[in-house]
Amino acid sequence: MAGYEERRDAFREQGVSIIAACVDTEEETAKVAADLGFPVAWGVSREDGNAIGSWWEERRDHIQPSEFVLSQSGKVLFSTYGNSPVGRMDPQETLILIKYLNEQRAKASQAAE
């Protein structure tokens, strides 16, 4: 999450809000979130995970990393699901993709005028 914090202003410039959530207790989450300038929800349950479309691992009975980028209307633009630290959304790559999508949206809007 530190990589997202480092780029928080750049994400904000692109119209992006960052929100995180975890299954940890409030106390454990407070330690992780202490240096973050975006909200981190704690105590995510299986029902919460199901509601947001996360992947719950049956064998170990916990939520796996699930990351989503949503449009302003709430549509999932892209997502990742992982069962290890490998394959998570890289903050810099995510920012590059969002900038690209915003540029394409601006071009389409200008062309329509």
- pLDDT score recorded for residue 55: 84
Would you call 34 exposed, middle or buried from its count of C-beta atoms within 10 A (0-12, 13-18, 19+)?
exposed
Q: What is the CATH number of the domain that holds 68?
A: 3.40.30.10
pLDDT digit string (tens) for 11-56? 999 999 999 999 899 999 999 999 999 999 999 999 998 998 888 8
> Residue 6, Cβ neighbours under 10 Å: how many?
11
Model-level pTM? 0.84
SS3 77: strand
Note down the domain range covering 15: 2-106
Q: 113 lies in a domain?
A: no
Domain count, the chain: 1
